[in-house]
Structure 1
Amino acid sequence: MRRACPLGRPGTIEGVLAETAYAYDNRTGRPPGRLVRTLGHVVPGIARVRAQAEPYADVWVARNRAALAAIERGEAGRRWIVLGDSMAQGVGASSPDAGWVGQVADRLADLGPMTLLNLSATGARVPDVLAQQLPVLEALPPTTAAPDVVVAVIGSNDLFAGRRFREGLPDAMRELVERLPDGSVIASLPQPQGAAQEANRWIDAAVAAGRLHCVDLRVSGPSSWRGLVAEDRFHPNDAGYAALTDAIAPVVRRALLGA
């Protein structure tokens, strides 16, 4: 999963970036789960959507390398960092930019240029964000521009990855909420499972304390996914991502404006 990078000296900011950020490749390092692999052999739509994962990750790796180079040069300006899973990669959409990240970026273009660092990975769970994505964020040098805006949409894979991950979701979400910078945006989990509701309590508490902004998908997500899912029947299609963007973009705008 990690790729060596010759940039930077150990102990310097550039060295930290070389060891963490430049080495990050938008992958968890795990193969697809057994159920996904099995269904992929019998349901063509699953295999076709899954085949997007590698090329879409490569797109974001290349863009992240360019963003990190701008950050090192002090030319990045306002920074927008995304934490998440395959939906932040745009899997299921016709292109990486047709996912919610690209569509939100389009809707916020009037706010001026921003440097996007998309640290998401297909298959990521909250522990992957804690162990792999947050360290990249935490390795970034301080910004002299307006404060970073961090957006985290994560947790659905934890609910469907098996009992151990489902039961661990509330504690993992608590740690994520505690480690996110003040002013970050986080999405609640709309699923009715008890683990999701317990995880949402940590999000709600942080929002009530004024620390975080919430994209509350319990009330602002699509009321029906009819016609909004890709052919794997799990990921959104372009229209589905547009519906998610309707919920996410206004909250990210408020965070960027400090409202």
Structure 2
Amino acid sequence: MGTVETGGGARKRRGFLDYAAIVIPGIGRVRAQKEPFARAWERENERALASGEPLWVALGDSMSQGIGAADISGGWVAQLRDRLDGVAVLNLSVTGARIGDVLTDQLPRLHDLGVRPRLVTLMVGANDMLLRKRRRGAPDEFRAVLDRLPGCDAVIATLPQGVTEAQEINAVLDREAAAGRLRVAEMRGGALGSWRGSLAEDFFHPNERGYARIAAVFEDPVRRSLREPRRQ
């Protein structure tokens, strides 16, 4: 899930992570995955765009990049993609992204590509919930993201955090799902089970086993969206 490092607060956060990486070497190893994973997805995206197959567009943060797995094939997006037929993945997620980054970077990038996706998935918000100052305005930004999604089916992950802003975002998702405008991938409560043995060596991101659980949560609503379109 990572962090977006801007401003003085980010410098403090970066210093903390640098120190933590010395104490727990696994943190540094997982942080070092950011660039190679991004490059790997760029190659996959080129193949997806050239495939001529219907596109599933993945938006979000490091969770959709698969950070923490041995390589991108172990992330939830790739694990689920490999179980689906007749769809290619265009992964526009970015490690460290927050809700506002989906709004101002990822959705404009999708628009500029000029493609019409068959499905969009979104898993974002964990980085916004880390600090109180980041949570301010997050529900409004999330609503703006939903308003700007392309006119196709969408599967959106709920937020498992118990803070007020996460609950407000989840309430919006519940209302939109009840109205038939999207489907949710339910991350609240015990949906993902115990994380014992399912975390990467930074003790923050999932490993392949953890990502398999996330893929399982997304699989049913994704399959139903591909089989029974809701949004036109």
Q: Normalising TM by the smaller chain, what interval?
A: 0.7 to 0.9
Q: 1:240 to 1:155 in 2, by over 3 A?
A: same
Residue 234 of structure 1: aligned partner: 204
Question: How much identity, in percent, do the aligned residues show?
Answer: 46
Residue 120 of structure 1: aligned partner: 93
Residue 77 of structure 2: aligned partner: 101
SS at match of 1:57: helix
Q: 1:28 to 1:158 in 2, by over 3 A?
A: closer
Alignment of 1:111-150 (within 5 A): 111-112=85-86, 114-141=87-114, 143=116, 148-150=118-120
Question: For structure 2, which runs of at least 5 residues remain unmatched after alignment?
Answer: none
Distance in 2 between residues matched to 1:28 and 1:79, nearest whole Å: 28
Alignment: residue pair count = 221
Match of 1:67 among 22, 25, 48: 48
Matched, 1:225 2:206: no
CA contact (8 A) 1:90 1:99 kept: yes
Match of 1:170 among 139, 142, 145: 139
Distance in 1 between residues matched to 2:103 and 2:148, nearest whole Å: 9
Question: For structure 1, which runs of at least 5 residues remain unmatched after alignment?
Answer: 1-26
SS at match of 1:218: coil
Residue 37 of structure 1: aligned partner: 18
The 10-residue stretch of structure 1 (185-194 or 58-67) with the greater mean CA deviation from structure 2: 58-67
CA contact (8 A) 1:28 1:124 kept: yes
Residue 149 of structure 2: aligned partner: 180
What is the CA deviation profile of residues 15-63 of structure 1, one whole-angstrom value per residue up to 9, with x for unaligned ones?
xxxxxxxxxxxx9786884232332232211111111111111101222
CA contact (8 A) 2:81 2:88 kept: no
What TM-score does the superposition give when structure 2 sets the normalisation length? 0.87
What is the CA deviation profile of residues 40-87 of structure 1, one whole-angstrom value per residue up to 9, with x for unaligned ones?
23221111111111111110122223334x2xxxx5231110001111
What TM-score does the superposition give when structure 1 sets the normalisation length? 0.79
Bigger relative contact order, structure 1 or 2, given CA contacts below 8 A and separation 6+?
A: 2
Residue 79 of structure 1: aligned partner: 55
Question: By how many angstroms is 1:125 displaced?
Answer: 0.5
